[in-house]
């Protein structure tokens, strides 16, 4: 399974007894779902899987498909549900749809235990080849050595953050210190890279590693001046087509919040009385328009994604801007 941030990402019908894969309705007749309805369907599906009832998750994924949802992570999770339910034909179709939608993690595809029952199927090999091709395109780089080092550091960045909440909602001081140690090391290393190469974008290190560079800067909270310098570099890289708009939106908000200012796109949340809420937003009434201009979904969708990802209550209502 992938945890949908739904981006990405992270959100009662009776169990479905049949095993036929969902049909593709004409786009013109696809039912429209609100962000809350989409979130509720994803949540229902994930709850069924967590309760070891994967067959009961499939109707929710079918509804999402029929409503036009094409997120590769969601489609992949549907494949996992079908595989766990023993419905191979449907699982393989979901996997093919995920590959067509841009699924690019070939390593995960070959290791996920949810898919064990599919790997001997000829159709699985075809899907894997398609995912590997997408994966390879995202790793093309003019400096493969630098790319590989970025990817290695990105893996450590993610591992240390995943470990924070393994033992409970409040990480101990030793985990916080380990996190800070990793961030300090990555920041120091990245400063040297940027001094030599400028911003490491898609051309230099490939799409996936370029995302890793952004991630390390996003987490360089111990060096706010460096984050601010990188924001300018990132904006220039966007103009050159080397990074996606959403990366600029996230770093813009990170820098503004770090400087004690209202954020612009609502990407930065904090805890208030046990609920995750957006930190203060400049001109909050227009935030969804600004988010759309940067390739982001609505703030309501993002809050639902946060709730699914961290399994904690979340709200789209931001903290008030201090006067």
Q: Tell me the pLDDT tens digit for each residue of 232-262.
A: 999 999 999 999 999 999 999 999 999 999 9
3-state secondary structure of 282: coil
Same domain, yes or no: 43 and 133: yes
Q: What percent of the chain has pLDDT over 70?
A: 90
Of 209, 243, 277, which residue is a domain's last? 243
φ and ψ at residue 276, rounded to 5 degrees: -80, 125
* Contact (CB, 8 A) for 67 and 39: no
Q: Which of 215, 243, 271 is the last residue of a domain?
A: 243
* Domain contains 1: no
Number of domain units in the chain? 2
Q: Mean pLDDT over residues 91-117, rounded? A: 94
Specify if 187 maps to a domain.
yes
22 band by pLDDT with thresholds 50, 70 and 90: very low
In this structure, are 154 and 184 located in the same domain? yes
Residues 133 and 148 in one domain: no
Residues in the chain: 323
**Summary mean pLDDT of the chain:** 88
Instruction: Supply 250's token pair.
Output: 């996230």
Domain that holds residue 106: 27-138
200 and 155 within one domain = yes
Across residues 256-276, what is the average pLDDT?
A: 95
3-state secondary structure of 167: coil
Q: Are residues 83 and 99 in the same domain?
A: yes
Q: Mean pLDDT over residues 217-225, rounded? A: 96
Q: Is 23 exposed, middle or buried (0-12, 13-18, 19+ CB in 10 A)?
A: exposed
Together in a domain, 174 and 217:
yes
User: 190 vs 109, 228, 273, CA distance in Å?
Assistant: 30, 14, 36
Task: Give the residue from 272, 236, 235 showing the smallest Cα distance to 250.
Answer: 235
Burial, 302: exposed, middle or buried (Cβ in 10 Å; 0-12, 13-18, 19+)?
buried
3-state class (DSSP) for residue 13: coil
Do the domain assignments include residue 39? Answer: yes
Is residue 16 situated within a structural domain? no
Q: Is 274 within a domain? A: no
275 membership: H or E segment, kind and range = strand 275-278
Q: In this structure, are 125 and 34 located in the same domain?
A: yes
In this model, does residue 24 exceed pLDDT 70?
Answer: no
Given 123, 138, 153, the domain boundary residue is 138
Clarify whether residues 34 and 126 are in a common domain. Answer: yes
The reply to whether omega before 8 is within 30° of 0 (cis) is yes
Q: Indicate the pTM of the whole model.
A: 0.79
Query: Is residue 209 a contact partner of residue 140, using CB atoms and an 8 Å limit?
Result: no
CB contact at 8 A, 77 and 2: yes
Asked whether residue 169 falls in the same domain as residue 186, the answer is yes
In a domain, 20, yes or no: no
Exposure string for 243-280, b = 16+ CB within 10 A, e = fewer: bbebbbbbbbbbbbbbeeebbbbbbbbeeeeeebbbbb
Same domain, 131 and 167: no
48 and 81 within one domain = yes
- Cα gap 204→32, rounded to integer Å: 41
Q: What is the DSSP string of 50-108?
A: HTT-HHHHHHHHHHHHHTT---HHHHHHHHHHHHHTT-HHHHHHHHHHHHHTT---HHH
Give the residue from 113, 114, 15 showing the smallest Cα distance to 62.
Answer: 15
Residues 86-101: pLDDT tens digits? 999 999 999 999 999 9
Is 21 a member of any domain?
no
- CATH code of the domain covering residue 93: 1.25.40.10
pLDDT one-digit tens code per residue, 196-216: 999 999 999 999 999 999 999
Assess if residue 265 is contained within a domain: no
Token digits of residue 87: 């419905």
Same structural domain, 43 and 89: yes
**In this model, does residue 292 exceed pLDDT 60?**
yes
């Amino acid at each position: 399974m992938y945890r949908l941030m739904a981006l990405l990402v992270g959100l009662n019908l009776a169990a479905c007894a049949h095993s036929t894969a969902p049909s593709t309705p004409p786009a013109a007749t696809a039912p429209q779902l609100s962000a809350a309805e989409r979130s509720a369907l994803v949540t229902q599906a994930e709850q069924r899987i967590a309760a070891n009832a994967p067959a009961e998750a499939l109707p929710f994924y079918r509804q999402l498909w029929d409503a036009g949802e094409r997120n590769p992570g969601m489609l992949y999770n549907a494949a996992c549900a079908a595989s766990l339910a023993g419905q191979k034909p449907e699982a393989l179709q979901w996997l093919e749809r995920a590959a067509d939608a841009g699924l690019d993690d070939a390593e995960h595809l070959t290791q996920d235990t949810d898919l064990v029952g599919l790997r001997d199927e000829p159709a699985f090999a075809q899907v894997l080849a398609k995912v590997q091709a997408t994966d390879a395109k995202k790793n093309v780089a003019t400096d493969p050595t630098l790319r590989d080092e970025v990817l290695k550091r990105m893996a450590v960045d993610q591992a240390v953050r995943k470990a924070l909440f393994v033992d409970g909602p409040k990480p101990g001081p030793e985990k916080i210190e380990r996190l800070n140690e990793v961030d300090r090391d990555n920041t120091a290393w990245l400063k040297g890279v940027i001094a030599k190469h400028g911003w490491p974008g898609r051309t230099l290190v490939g799409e996936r590693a370029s995302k890793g560079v952004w991630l390390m800067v996003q987490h360089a909270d111990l060096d706010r001046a460096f984050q601010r310098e990188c924001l300018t570099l990132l904006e220039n890289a966007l103009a050159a087509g080397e990074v996606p708009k959403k990366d600029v939106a996230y770093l813009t908000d990170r820098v503004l919040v770090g400087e004690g200012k209202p954020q612009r796109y609502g990407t930065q949340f904090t805890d208030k009385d046990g609920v995750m809420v957006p930190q203060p937003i400049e001109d909050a009434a227009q935030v969804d328009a600004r988010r759309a201009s940067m390739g982001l979904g609505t703030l309501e969708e993002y809050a639902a994604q946060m709730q699914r990802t961290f399994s904690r209550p979340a709200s789209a209502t931001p903290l008030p801007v201090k006067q």
